[in-house]
Amino acid sequence: MSIARSEWAGDVLVVGAGPAGLAVAAELAGQGLSVLLADENQRPGGQIGRQRFLRSSQAGPDAAGHHDPMLHPGITYRPGTVCHGFRDGQQAFLTTPAGPMITRTRAVVLATGAAERVIPVPGWTLPGVMTVGAAQAFLKGSGLFPYRRVVVAGTGPLLLAAASQLVSAGVQVVRVVEAACPGLSRWRDAARLVAGAPLLAQGAGHLLSLARAGVFPRTGVGVQEIVGEDQVRGARLRRLRRDWSFADAPPELVECDAVLLSHGFSSVTDLASQLGADIEWDQQRQSWRPVRDQGLRTTAANVWAVGDCAGVGGAQLAELEGRLAGLLIAADLTGRPVRERRVRVLRRRIARLEVFRRGMDMLFAPGTGISGWHDGSTQVCRCQESTRADIDRALDDGVEDLHGLKLWTRAGMGPCQGRVCGPVLTAILASRGCDVSQLAPPRARFPVRPLSVAAVCDAAESCPPSTRKGMP
């Protein structure tokens, strides 16, 4: 089957149709600019708005209130579309369900969101171990969850939300364990920052519905090991100290067939990095992120980054950033004056949410003890099966950064391109005394997502010679 390459030329390419991407696209289109909105998923809304793939009149009660956001006619929306990388801030290579696509735009907005962070423990590659977000995707996307007895472990408010969703779907949640156990003084500092946020009420609601099901979340407990031969049979839970290292107390073996893990989120920076934008370490969020100016512009020409991919802050913050960037980019491209009043209002609301975020990050920041969670034979890189012992050996041999680890141990070289192991490798480096802020950031190269040779050929065959020379 030969698929012709398509081209799209317009004002702005927006990558990612979550809250940030939708907001920026709407703002730009509303000001008369042409926008291509590309997203890997089948429906707009991102992970937070994830739902059944097909609109179905028989989808039942959960279909009520779930509608795809109405897209402005100035937006060309391409679902199921992957952005593999850029030649520069104006030309991108994508694959759509209909074949490869090359775009030429005056500006690019990255709104690629975040990936869930999971700290490896022995047994974490067994079928039945997944991120908390993956369980939510099962529930939201199909209304089913394929396991019966579940342990939910990790850190952050997502644990409670997911556990209560599972309970209402009829799944038996046997334990919910939160690793963090903030001391009184930290609670006091954080409480000042998060006070009054609606999320607190939500959290209380989840706790209540869990209590009704007889589930009482515990704090300061982690998963020491997940046991099973070719699927999950149980989890060994153990008390954690304040720094998240395992306490001396004996572990408790809990029988279950699934373990859901979540230890926060890391910004997906691959496209920004591939574009040559400067990437920096964000100590508060324990994540890499693209450097941005006040106008949310990266250091790469014509490239902006908004939402979780530029610093995890949640859907509400992402949407506000998208609107702000939309206003500023529109002014930039049209030459019309910036709407100062709206910009001021948005900046004020963003600042308030960032204060709240600082409080949350303070409560749920992973402790340094996580570097002791994996034993020597635990795979740190799931794609290449590089173990903790491999990583330690490389570090003993003098490797001192992420790039070196990749070359020596192959960690980060697989299809996920380090999106899973990157945060873990960074934490291991930090635990060995490395100053992460001085570390060279992870570098992504074209294509940042696997690309079939056939797609490249399809694109090249129909390319004019000038383009063929330039496209990777």
Partner 1 sequence: MTSPRFPSASRAVPPATSVLLDGALTDVPAGVSIAAALALAGRRALRTSRPSGEPRAVFCGMGSCHECLVTVDGIRGVRACITPVAPGMRIDTQVKELSDEHR
β-pair partners for 219: 178
Q: Per rule CB under 8 A, is residue 142 in the interface with partner 1?
A: yes
Structural contact between residues 348 and 334, judged by C-beta atoms closer than 8 angstroms: no
Query: Strands 75-78 and 35-38: what pairing?
Result: parallel
Interaction between residue 262 and partner 1 (CB under 8 A): no
Q: Choose, by CB under 8 A, the member of 416, 436, 457, 463 that binds partner 1.
A: 416
Which of 17, 21, 15, 12 lies closest to 321 in space, CA to CA?
21
112 within 8 A of 19, measured Cβ to Cβ: no
Output the smallest distance, CB 115 to partner 1, in A.
5
CB 37, CB 70: distance < 8 Å: no
Stretch of 55-63, 208-216, 315-323, 344-352 contacting partner 1, by CB under 8 A: 55-63
In whole angstroms, how close is the CB of 147 to partner 1 at the nearest point?
9
- Contact between 53 and partner 1 by CB under 8 A: the answer reads yes
Binding residue (CB under 8 A) for partner 1 from 40, 189, 332, 392: 40
> Minimum distance between the CB of residue 19 and partner 1, rounded to whole angstroms?
15
Minimum CB separation of residue 168 from partner 1 in Å reads 7
| Closer by beta carbon to partner 1, 131 or else 426 | 131
Q: Residue 370 contacts by C-beta under 8 Å, 6 or more apart in sequence?
A: 119, 244, 263, 427
Taking the least distance from each CB to partner 1, the nearer of 95 and 103 is 95
Contacts of 444 (CB under 8 A, 6+ apart): 85, 269, 270, 271, 273, 274, 417
Q: One symbol per residue from 209 to 248: x for binding partner 1 (CB under 8 A), - otherwise; what is it?
A: ---------------------xx-----------------
CA–CA dist 356, 349 (Å, integer): 11
For 70, which DSSP code? P
Q: What is the dihedral of CA 178, 425, 395, 430, to 10 degrees?
A: -60
Q: Rule CB under 8 A: say whether 42 interacts with partner 1.
A: yes
Provide the minimum distance between the beta carbon of 253 and partner 1 in the complex, in angstroms, as a whole number.
21
Distances (CA, A) of 425 to 197, 242, 406, 422, 441: 33, 22, 10, 5, 12
- Please give the residues from 57 up to 86 whose contact with partner 1 meets the rule CB under 8 A: 58-63, 80
Stretch 439-458 residues interacting with partner 1 (CB under 8 A): 450, 452
Candidates 268, 315, 346, 402: give the one binding partner 1 (CB under 8 A): 268
- Minimum CB distance to partner 1 smaller for 53 or for 187: 53
Chain positions contacting partner 1, by CB under 8 A: 40-42, 47, 52-54, 56, 58-63, 80, 115-116, 125-131, 133-139, 141-146, 148, 165, 168-171, 230-231, 268, 382-383, 385, 414-416, 419-420, 450, 452
